[in-house]
Structure 1
Amino acid sequence: MRKWLAAKPGASDAEHREAERLLSQAFEQGEDSALVPLIVLYLQYPQSWPEIDPQQRIDQWRARGLPQADLAQIILYRTQGTYAQHLGEIEQVCQRWLRRMDVCWYELATVYQMQGNAEKQKALLEQLRAAYKAGRVPGERVDSVAGVLADGELGQPDPQTAQALLEEIAPSYPAAWVSLAKLLYDYPDQGDLEKMLGYLKNAQDAAQPRAELLLGRLYYDGKWAPQDPRKAERHLLKAAASEPQANYYLGQIYRRGFLGKVYPQKAVDHLILAARAGQASADMALAQLWSQGRGIQPNRVNAYVFGQLAVQQQVPQASDLLGQIEAQLPPAERSQAQQLLKREQQSRGNNWQATVSLLQSQDSPINEEEPESL
């Protein structure tokens, strides 16, 4: 309950404080696992605890030799954008706690990928395979390491090794079937449509909602299969309850009139869900919807709010759109918009996009691009 309150989107200040009370109580009673969600809470909602310095707290916890405190420090580096400046420290920390915290497999793989250290990466993967076969590491963690290997933003990607790793675990960890399909989506040289659909069929048979998300994406953008917005909608609706990206694509289908006409309220409903779950492109889409007024009454105030949120997350073209919106915004509406923006930011929390997945497995999102036509 306490972790759910800490991570709950749109939670009230009272819920945040109750989560902090429960987490602090659990930590004082010796439950070290409460430490990470507690530091995430402080990072997301600093306005609720202005007297608390997260770095100072982490330093105190690390002085006590708590492994979770080292993990909290890594999380702080991520949210501050200084991870790359601390690779040596992260490697030392995770080598020390590798047997106690399985997330260290992910962190070490990330470090070696960013350093381009193929020798250490190879040795790590050999250890990982042995630990997985011995039952010491869950399939979820192996899946996340494969995602690191395939991530071109971290360094030179290695999709072949990632694919081999995923195929080893997929029979006993069905979520890996979706990761395999996504790997083919991103790296077409690794297989064809038939192979991808085979992976997705295995995932569907195991009731994996991410399979429905990727199938919806296939029919949404038409890069691997003919575009079919109704098939896309059907699959995405099945995934929407647990996959924020599904709400983003549904919102785009309804906003852009892919079903024959624009459904503005459906578009708003799905895009807001996606935006508040950390999908930056959904903020951009909402700004476009309310500024352009396609099928809906233009609303400069709403357009400004979501345009600002998109700019803060460095969404491409967001600055140009916001400039157009600001040029049309009278002073009275600007004041109203700034108040609404502050409320929206507070409801999400500071660093919400950077921390929204920290209490879940670390997943690599599908690259978001618009389809050329439908």
Structure 2
Amino acid sequence: MKVVVAIDSFKGSLSSYELGQAIEVGVKRVYPEAEVIKVPIADGGEGTVASLVEGTKGKFVTVTVNNPLMEKIEARYGIMGDGKTAVIEMAEASGLPLIPVEKRNPMKTTTYGTGELIKDAILKGCREFIVGIGGSATNDAGLGMLQALGYKFLDENKKELGFGGEILSKVRYIDSTKSLPELKDCRFLVACDVDNPFYGPKGAAEIYSRQKGATEDMVKELDKGLKDLSEVIKKELDIDVSNLSGAGAAGGLGGGLVAFLNGKLSPGIDMILEKVGLEKELKDADFVITGEGRLDHQTAMGKAPVGVAKIAKKFDIPVIALAGGLTDDAVQTHEKGIDSFFSIINYPITLEEAMKKETAEKFVKGNTEEIFRLIKVCEKKYSK
């Protein structure tokens, strides 16, 4: 029997890799000779670096960068096993949790630290990049990231501007003469699971900036800034990001990556499953185990487990999902290729206790064992 495990992390509890290890134990309690292939995955958000590094036997790199308020912090990115592909979660350096609630202000916050992560990877020889852009504290359209890579943004008097969303409306000229020359050889794949345009009623500022600390006046100013910047980008670079689907992701970082670094926006899970070579592993599998911390209607809209199921169904392979929690509308995932799903929680327990690694591991091992015991019973009965 061959079982492929491609399960997203249980956020705050077990990583994709740790879940794979626990599921393998459960399977082999029933089928000791089973081949269990573990493919760590994520959907472009939290856990992306870990899944791609662990899944390709790569390495983690920790560097000192600037947080969204230009304060020094330690941040981590990954280099995949090929030695040339860097995996970066922008939230590591520019994420909302890095800033206390009382200091959140998208007029001031910058993506500079994300640019520092990219620069470090370039200097280490990377030329391929996978960038996850969820969870930002910023609304600067990636200008801070570009500043860290050597770009300068100038006002009407050709004076260099500072950082943050407050400079968006002031940009009149783009100076790339001091940008890293290696950028021309780099490719950026951007894991983006939202379709917001750069500005407007559904744009970056209007939809997301309030949660980053923006007042109503700031929302208007930031939205105008993104509109003004899009016109400068069109004039200076001959690229129109104004209505590009996904350009408004992460405070306009999606648009900035496309306009300045020729980034390609793609649903995170599709990109990552391709990178880890899941389809190749699935071709001759008997079962696929997937899942995530909470299975609900959002899962059915295209999150990691459904991405896995979509590939599995090409080969008519049964898909079983495990989750910490299930909602009533999780049944929608059946229509998306998940044949059966199970909660790992066996009895009433507090959330805090359930999320402890040792508890979650015990439940995952035990429930996987019971699932495969049932499979074995059915196998015996219907093979007669």
TM-score over 0.5 (shorter chain): no
Q: Which has more strand, going by share of residues?
A: 2
Q: Which has more helix, going by share of residues?
A: 1
Q: What is the TM-score when the length of structure 1 is the normalising length?
A: 0.28
Q: What is the TM-score when the length of structure 2 is the normalising length?
A: 0.28
Bigger relative CO (Cα 8 Å, ≥ 6 apart): 2
